[in-house]
Amino acid sequence: KETALKFHKDFQGKIALHCKVPVNNKEDMTLAYTPGVAEPCMEINKDYDKVYDYTSKGNWVAVVTNGTAVLGLGDIGAAAGLPVMEGKSVLFKAFAGVDAFPICLDTKDSKKIIETVKLME
């Protein structure tokens, strides 16, 4: 028990976002953000499928829960389910190279959950 708690506390979670592109100078920043970012935005606006060429979208999944059926823990709530969702995200990355984002929704209303997931882009 103590080892598991220390592991999670020391790392403050199991996943992190990192940059795939260099951001070492002003030119890098203007390409990664504004004004350079406008170019892929305009291409995607013309052709939705370009989103897979110009962004990481093709390698993303959401690991969604409301915390009502977490492993063998049952209904522990959205916040308490986050460590499990982070763990699942680790498995996606470690074994499949997929970037998984844990999303914990604080609602038991299934219609709201479905609507929220459908709206994710």
Note the pLDDT of residue 82.
98
**Region for residue 53 given its phi and psi (left: phi exceeds 0; alpha: psi -120 to 50; beta: otherwise):** alpha
Domain chopping of the chain, boundaries? 18-55, 56-120
Q: Is 33 a catalytic residue?
A: yes
Q: 56-120: what CATH class?
A: alpha beta
Sign of CA dihedral 54, 55, 60, 62: negative
Per annotation, catalytic residue among 14, 54, 88, 111:
88
Q: Over the stretch 104-119, which tens digit does the pLDDT of each residue have?
A: 999 999 999 999 999 9
Which amino acid does the sequence have at 106? D
Contact criterion met (CB below 8 Å) for 107 and 68:
no
pTM above 0.95, yes or no: no
Note the pLDDT of residue 39.
98
Q: Over the stretch 63-105, which tens digit does the pLDDT of each residue have?
A: 999 999 998 999 999 999 999 999 999 999 999 999 999 999 9
Note the pLDDT of residue 86.
98
Note the pLDDT of residue 44.
98
Query: What residue ranges in 22-107 does DSSP mark as E strands?
Result: 60-65, 99-104
Q: Is 88 a catalytic residue?
A: yes
Per annotation, catalytic residue among 6, 33, 57, 108:
33
Note the pLDDT of residue 103.
98
Q: Which tokens belong to 63?
A: 């690991």
Note the pLDDT of residue 75.
98
